[in-house]
């Protein structure tokens, strides 16, 4: 071999004989075959991998891991939380169909269901999911899906999953729940009867704010359809990000235990603060805890700009989760695209702040928020 040929073909051989303690990163765009017969074997189901967009050991590991945590038979990893939601939705509905969704969803999901799906010929009606009557009144002959979140964003309403499942069975509908806020550590919607469960794995599954990923889990035939959408619409996850996400997921229970404990302590403290108009934090999510998000509404005595400038080591970000305590501003980020009437109806105003609790010492977290609130008054 000449130099360039030698460099190109000097890769490690016989990797199947190397017994790595952790899953290797299969950072490859495609997989090779020894013969045309072996290549044909992929299409006959004898070989699992051809091209990373259609499947990769790292993405399969992540999808299978989250499915196992949810108690579901199948899962598929995607490039983001929204792509997971889109794949799940398109596994259930098609042009001409109708979706009924909770009105208090994450802003990105609200926009996708309301605006982007119009181009697919799919209509969505948003209603108050605390009212069984409103949900049933919205059902039409074209309705195929009920969509909500285990814990809604940002006001932490815990969905009545049993009610949704009962309504779906009564009217022959499918259900999809976004379980990002609760995670399978606190709730497992699939085991409660939900057809598909979506995650923004960017948040608690990955857990370290260094990846963007999504996962869909649930009934095998529906996950198969979701996987087809991921493959054919190009929303697959890269092997390296899948590997990082799976690595992060291994500490999910430890992180959520600490973060849920910290959120409960902070919520209890802020409820007694005279400058807090309202604390949004549930008490009915799980026996293990009630999530790691606390949303607050500061009263009129607080200058919101001064509050954010006084947070010290607590970072201002447009997202949540991770091991660090952070804050976000729903009006300016996650729910910015909502129509003003929807913002007003939900109560998303200039003084609403969403807090994502990390794993720091609870006393430090409480002290920093009390200091910021104090400095914002005047």
DSSP-assigned states of every residue in 290-330: S-SEEEEEE-TTB-HHHHHHT-TTSEE-SS--SSS-EEE-T
Do the Cβ atoms of 102 and 159 come closer than 8 Å?
Answer: yes
Across-strand partners of 148? Answer: 177
According to DSSP, residue 42 is labeled: H
Could you give the CA distance from residue 279 to residue 352 in angstroms, rounded to a whole number?
10
Across-strand partners of 113? Answer: none
Angle, nearest 10°, between helix axes 57-70 and 239-249? 30
pLDDT recorded at residue 81 = 98
The token duo for 166 is 């009962």
Residue 10 vs residues 4, 54, 184, 196, 348: alpha-carbon distances, Å? 10, 27, 43, 45, 58
Give the three-state DSSP class for 307. helix
Pairing of strands 123-127, 98-102: parallel
pLDDT recorded at residue 334 = 85
Tell me the helix, strand and coil percentages in the chain, rounded to 5: 40, 15, 45
Could you give the CA distance from residue 356 to residue 362 in angstroms, rounded to a whole number?
13
DSSP code per residue over 86-144: HHHHHTT--TT-EEEEESS--HHHHHHHHTGGGGGT-EEEEE-TT-HHHHHHH--TTEE
Q: What is the pTM of this model?
A: 0.94
Could you give the CA distance from residue 343 to residue 137 in angstroms, rounded to a whole number?
23
According to DSSP, residue 23 is labeled: P
Pairing of strands 315-316, 74-78: unpaired
Per-residue pLDDT of the chain (378 residues), as tens digits, is 888 787 778 877 766 778 889 999 999 999 999 999 999 999 999 989 999 999 999 999 999 999 999 999 999 999 999 999 999 999 999 999 999 999 999 999 999 999 999 999 999 999 999 999 999 999 999 999 999 999 999 999 999 999 999 999 999 999 999 999 999 999 999 999 999 999 999 999 999 999 999 999 999 999 999 999 999 999 999 999 999 999 999 999 999 999 999 999 999 999 999 999 999 999 999 999 999 999 999 999 999 999 999 999 999 999 999 999 999 999 998 898 888 988 899 899 999 999 999 999 999 999 999 999 999 997
Go through the domains of the chain in sequence order and give each one's CATH number. 36-249 (3.40.640.10), 252-376 (3.90.1150.10)
Find out whether the peptide bond into 154 is cis, omega within 30 degrees of 0. Answer: yes
DSSP code per residue over 185-239: HH--GGGGT-SEEEEETTTTTT-SS----EEEEE-HHHHHHHHHHHHHTT-PPPH
Residue found under tokens 């026996």 = 287
DSSP code per residue over 230-281: HHHTT-PPPHHHHHHHHHHHTTHHHHHHHHHHHHHHHHHHHHT-TTEEEEE-
The token duo for 360 is 């720091």
Could you give the CA distance from residue 343 to residue 352 in angstroms, rounded to a whole number?
11
According to DSSP, residue 179 is labeled: -
Could you give the CA distance from residue 110 to residue 115 in angstroms, rounded to a whole number?
8
**b/e per residue, 221-249, with b = 16+ CB within 10 A?**
ebbebbbebbbeeebbbbbebbbbbbbbb
pLDDT recorded at residue 186 = 97
Could you give the CA distance from residue 375 to residue 230 in angstroms, rounded to a whole number?
48
């Amino acid at each position: 071999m000449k130099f360039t040929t030698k460099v190109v073909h000097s890769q490690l051989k016989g990797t199947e004989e190397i017994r790595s303690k952790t899953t290797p990163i299969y950072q490859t765009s495609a997989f090779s075959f020894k013969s045309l017969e072996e290549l044909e074997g992929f299409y006959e189901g004898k070989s699992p991998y051809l091209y990373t967009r259609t499947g990769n050991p790292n993405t399969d590991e992540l999808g299978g891991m989250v499915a196992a945590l949810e108690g579901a038979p199948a899962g598929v990893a995607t490039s983001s939380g929204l792509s997971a939601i889109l794949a799940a939705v398109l596994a259930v509905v098609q042009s001409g169909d109708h979706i009924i969704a909770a009105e208090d969803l994450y802003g990105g999901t609200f926009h996708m269901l309301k605006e982007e799906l119009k181009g697919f010929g799919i209509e969505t009606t948003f209603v108050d999911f605390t009212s069984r009557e409103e949900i049933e009144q919205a059902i039409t002959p074209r309705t195929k899906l009920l969509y909500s979140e285990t814990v809604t964003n940002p006001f932490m309403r815990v969905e009545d999953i049993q009610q949704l499942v009962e309504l779906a069975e009564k009217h022959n509908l499918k259900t999809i729940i976004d379980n990002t806020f609760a995670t399978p550590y606190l709730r497992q919607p699939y085991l409660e009867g939900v057809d598909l469960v979506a995650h923004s794995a960017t948040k608690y599954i990955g857990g370290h704010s260094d990846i963007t990923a999504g996962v869909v889990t649930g009934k095998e035939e529906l996950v198969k359809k979701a996987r087809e959408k991921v493959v054919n619409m190009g929303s697959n996850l890269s092997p390296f990000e899948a590997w990082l996400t799976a690595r992060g997921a291994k500490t999910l229970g430890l992180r959520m235990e600490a973060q849920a404990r910290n959120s409960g302590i902070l919520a209890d403290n802020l409820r007694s603060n005279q400058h807090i108009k309202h604390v949004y934090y549930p008490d009915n999510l799980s026996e293990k805890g009630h999530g790691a998000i606390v949303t607050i509404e500061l009263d009129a005595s607080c200058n919101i700009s001064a509050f954010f400038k006084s947070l010290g080591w607590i970072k201002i970000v447009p997202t949540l989760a991770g091991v660090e305590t952070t804050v976000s501003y729903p009006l300016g980020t996650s729910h910015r695209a909502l129509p003003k009437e929807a913002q007003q109806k939900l109560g998303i105003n200039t003084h609403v702040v969403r807090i994502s609790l990390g794993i720091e010492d609870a006393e430090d977290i409480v002290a920093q928020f009390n200091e910021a609130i104090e400095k914002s008054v005047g």
